[in-house]
Structure 1
């Protein structure tokens, strides 16, 4: 008998479980374990030699195509990193999540369970010093190098997850390899929140949209989905052409021969899935994509043959032995041109996917292909850089990168920061700056809102955003609606005056950055607001932030960090994709907040009068700017009734039951803390008569945490 979960009984209940991941370690590694320190103990050359040995030693239980596992391992690494999407920074290779559901059982990852199992001897040898996340990506690099390609570099530092990332929205469908209209907007573009056009596939259907060999539609899908990883046309073509230079696709027969995926496979298969009943079930009889054949006659060598084959021959669609659409040379020129996967004498036909021929069909993609054909060095360089970007995009700034193969160059997609050419402020200078801020006309509310707007752009998914760099003063952030641009300009102007006054007065090498000044001002505001409520709290300040330049800031890349909604500032954007409270939890998860931390921050921001546009929604206090627990006390007061003001039920009024007068206004961001049973349980702790001091101190701690999320130099 199976027992229904709370979620199954009430499927519309607000899901707070994603925040529990930040309350403690779900895995077996000790809290004190330092993966970066352990990784640095590795002899990376020795690790790569061990991977190379695995790669070139074919196993009977899963024989290597052409005697080399390189193409399989490239696919493994690509499919691990290729789930990244820029909208929320989720997905990607970090966490080694390909070994966990749902990714370990995606239709596009058929037989990658074998690739990871082949690598177990290497993982077993190095244990905790080498995470699966790093091993999978490193193996992809070793595979490329083993077959003659020169990679751009490799960085370690991906700590493993031990449970699925439930915060990722993979799409609305409830069937694998399906596509619903909800996945696209009215103009036919992929929804901003998603990264793939088909449920369970990394990017697009290789047969073409809806399984049809539609070249124009396929090219549009390719450009759409790769743009969701911030890849331009050249990077897109480089990745596809470079990856398809190696290996083959497998479709010896219909996928009906395959057993269930790993998460549904019988217990005796011990985590392996897709048991194949066709022929020997492996080697020439392998079934993966359902499409059959190599792209060229040299599938384990880096060369131009993929590009040349695609451009030099005319291709026409046909159904392969697996029943899927694929493309063959119109005059059979490349039939029997490739060696067999086990016996080179068993010749195979060279084929192309619809997604390959679509590159030739699209004029802009084709221009890139022709450039690569005419300039092989440019092809090498472009693929090396695009591959490096693909496998490192979710790792954040280069200061987090580990190992001897980290390139010296910092790319614009890594959100570079300048090196400080001055000494950071010490205790005496901080005290001087505190006085200058206190003597300014900046209110508690203004300082809190500005510091929050700067720091809360951080997202732990891909380590982007945050206060470091003071990019709030640069486009596009300074013009975001949520930041009240006109008021922000005034506040930044005051901070710039303080910065200039302080820096110009120094006779030494000590300087203060605007980034540090903004955070210091926010910290002081919290301390002042707590003192006004009768509590002495210290919000620690660690200087060392720097100010980025416009040249170091890719405006288009930073646009994706603009929030659709911000529950902490009670900002409701238009046409929200989810209920406001779901947007709040999503933001909290990206900020690595627990349920109590999210709760105290919302309650504190309200009484600190830090709402967007000076709104009084949720400001349940007669003393705005003072850090009291009034938000919780008044929310829990049941002497009045809440009524929605419109059909959307996003804004509400609290009316006195006797007089009918409106006492407070609020949004769903506010009322969810009294409505949701779990949030109410937490709210009651802070709203009790003995809860205020606890609230104030925990707000200060949570505030400090957000201000330091991007300080990787302090880790």
Structure 2
């Protein structure tokens, strides 16, 4: 086998993830507007086509109870359920379930069949219906077809055409195991991880490390669902609601299963887990090692799951697949469920360790008992929790399309109020820019504040950004990376400008603080470029509004706090990975390419925009001026670098002739001279004729970051 660069140099900085942000490999025309195409579909017809698929059993993969609904709920859940709030990655958006590793995770066994069953629907609607939307919508249709009233559906998820290589799924090198390195010293999952077992969506259904440990199982459930920003009530609603339907499949030992899709032979055509046990399908299906249904009506919404769980006593035993599961001690539940494929036969219900754990955890049990006493509350709670689960990574409702998008905006969607005033025009913008220039605010102060606001954006789940001016609210105003004391000074000054301007207007126009923060950064960039001899205009689109503290979920927003921000040369004590890798990770979340990352770092250093006013990496005699000095200096050979810290984070450069200390930098700075690919990009900007292009490219990349969250402009 030919060896690749990754084989030869496995520790080199991986930049490929940033190439994905240029959307390579996408066969859909760049001009194609998917959201517009989806909005034009006849949603009723589409849902009818899906429901017909759900209720038409195929001989090649027979439906349990004659209905594919439970299988499709699992498919949709496992697509959306990979979401974690720590970095916003995972989730249903872009249909990552079609690619490795997710398409071959043990927890997704036989979901390849679910997607293949849906191919006729996808084939009919083509590019006007993404797999990402189809998978989630099918989950909704499945629930509705079995008597459940869903809360709504928003389309608009575009498909990816390659896997997301940026997602860290854990330290293990094999599936269905848990490495102790997945947890910190307190036994909590390390960020950004949200699942407790490699290859499983959440936790081991048998219990921690495959043992029926109820207390440990409840602990793991709470950890993993908290990482999805789910409350205890939402957690119980999701588990109880999902397990109201269907069954699990463990007719015999999982050793009968063939390789997963990524390892299967060519003739399998993308399918995996071919079973050599009896027929391999129907009543002989093996997905994992657990076998059986939860209640007597697996294709109907009712209270059967909760009633069975709370009213019966359950004992652990090993089922036909050799895995731990729970059977009822009560004789009255014996044979209470029809067989999934032979209506003349009956079977006993079962529970997973993760089910019984809910009953034995005081807080979870309290929720279960409330739901049992109030079925309408259970229905409403599951509807809203399911809606949150399948839409969590879509961002604000403005991105959603279709006739079933709810009017209500949830707190977890980071609501931003609509403007109740006329947006400022070009003349007013010029007036405001002049007011900012006449203030005492410096170029670095304005740049740092605008960046602090806008760079919270995550393209993974469309959260954060400057819109809403949450930079002035808890928790962002208190983050150390934002230099709270300086931030307060800047925001107070901009607020004075905003108040005076708005009070002076008689034409109904006004400006938000969110707009002023971005405008201030733009003004600073224009002035810094002018000082370097370059006349530039940074585009500015007003229309942002200011959210309130009540519209801000403080705990949820804490997940956006950067442990490191290489653009500001910031690294907290919580950051343990190499700084250059954290820079690439943040750049990926900002949807930047390698050149955009490069030009922004060089520009931020020239603008003296470091955290806490540090001069690390500020390789210029003209800080606050938008020159290409960072690259020209770094690429020169006048000095040699030496490590200046035990962790090799900080470095010092000494003049080759005099031995004098001439500059200091970090790993983030030096990587642009060390990494071959980044050096090649830096050389374009650092050349004698490169400054004009550097300034132009910086303005483009800056504007991109400042407008990431302007979904109203799309």
Tell me which interval the TM-score lies in, with the shorter structure as reference length. over 0.9
Runs of 4+ residues over 4 Å off in structure 1 = none
1:326·1:352 contact (CA, 8 Å) conserved in 2? yes
Partner residue in 1 for 2:496: 497
Partner residue in 2 for 1:594: 593
Corresponding residue SS for 1:148: coil
Corresponding residue SS for 1:318: strand
Segment of structure 1 superposing worse, 337-346 or 379-388: 337-346
The within-5 A match list for 1:459-474 is 459-474=458-473
Corresponding residue SS for 2:432: helix
Partner residue in 2 for 1:639: 638
| Mapped pair 1:403 → 2:402 | yes
The within-5 A match list for 1:3-42 is 3-42=2-41
| Mapped pair 1:114 → 2:113 | yes
- Superposed displacement of residue 512, structure 1: 0.3
The one-character-per-residue Cα deviations of 1:66-96 (angstroms, maximum 9, x if unpaired) are 0000000000000000000001100000001
The within-5 A match list for 1:629-708 is 629-708=628-707
| Mapped pair 1:152 → 2:179 | no
1:25·1:31 contact (CA, 8 Å) conserved in 2? no
The one-character-per-residue Cα deviations of 1:314-351 (angstroms, maximum 9, x if unpaired) are 10100000000000012443222111111111211100
Counterparts of 1:260 and 1:477, CA distance in 2: 47
| Mapped pair 1:420 → 2:412 | no
Counterparts of 1:455 and 1:473, CA distance in 2: 12
- Superposed displacement of residue 282, structure 1: 0.4
Segment of structure 1 superposing worse, 76-85 or 333-342: 333-342
The within-5 A match list for 1:100-111 is 100-111=99-110
Counterparts of 1:289 and 1:309, CA distance in 2: 23
- Superposed displacement of residue 24, structure 1: 3.5
Counterparts of 1:657 and 1:124, CA distance in 2: 66
Partner residue in 1 for 2:227: 228
Segment of structure 1 superposing worse, 128-137 or 17-26: 17-26
The one-character-per-residue Cα deviations of 1:347-381 (angstroms, maximum 9, x if unpaired) are 11100000000000101000000000000000000
Partner residue in 1 for 2:174: 175
Partner residue in 1 for 2:428: 429
| Mapped pair 1:362 → 2:361 | yes
Counterparts of 2:553 and 2:210, CA distance in 1: 37
Partner residue in 1 for 2:608: 609
Partner residue in 2 for 1:218: 217
Partner residue in 1 for 2:242: 243
Taking structure 2 as the reference length, the TM-score comes to 0.99
Counterparts of 2:347 and 2:16, CA distance in 1: 50
Partner residue in 1 for 2:81: 82
Counterparts of 2:418 and 2:645, CA distance in 1: 51
Partner residue in 1 for 2:327: 328
Segment of structure 1 superposing worse, 573-582 or 312-321: 573-582
Alignment length (residue pairs): 714
Counterparts of 2:549 and 2:344, CA distance in 1: 59
Corresponding residue SS for 1:21: helix
Segment of structure 1 superposing worse, 528-537 or 211-220: 528-537
- Superposed displacement of residue 658, structure 1: 3.1
Corresponding residue SS for 1:469: coil
- Superposed displacement of residue 5, structure 1: 1.3
Partner residue in 2 for 1:571: 570
1:629·1:695 contact (CA, 8 Å) conserved in 2? yes
Counterparts of 1:503 and 1:640, CA distance in 2: 53
User: For the aligned residues, what is the CA RMSD?
Assistant: 0.7
User: Any gaps of 5 or more consecutive residues in structure 2?
Assistant: none
Taking structure 1 as the reference length, the TM-score comes to 0.99
| Mapped pair 1:394 → 2:366 | no
The one-character-per-residue Cα deviations of 1:568-591 (angstroms, maximum 9, x if unpaired) are 000011141311000000000011
Partner residue in 2 for 1:194: 193
- Superposed displacement of residue 660, structure 1: 2.3
1:291·1:324 contact (CA, 8 Å) conserved in 2? yes
The one-character-per-residue Cα deviations of 1:490-537 (angstroms, maximum 9, x if unpaired) are 010100010011011111210000000111111111111111101111
Partner residue in 2 for 1:295: 294
Partner residue in 1 for 2:53: 54
- Superposed displacement of residue 238, structure 1: 0.2
Counterparts of 1:419 and 1:147, CA distance in 2: 38
Counterparts of 1:153 and 1:577, CA distance in 2: 41
Counterparts of 2:29 and 2:334, CA distance in 1: 56
The within-5 A match list for 1:271-310 is 271-310=270-309
Counterparts of 1:128 and 1:24, CA distance in 2: 16
- Superposed displacement of residue 23, structure 1: 2.0
Counterparts of 1:433 and 1:646, CA distance in 2: 45
Corresponding residue SS for 2:338: coil
Corresponding residue SS for 1:192: coil
Counterparts of 2:431 and 2:537, CA distance in 1: 17
- Superposed displacement of residue 679, structure 1: 0.5
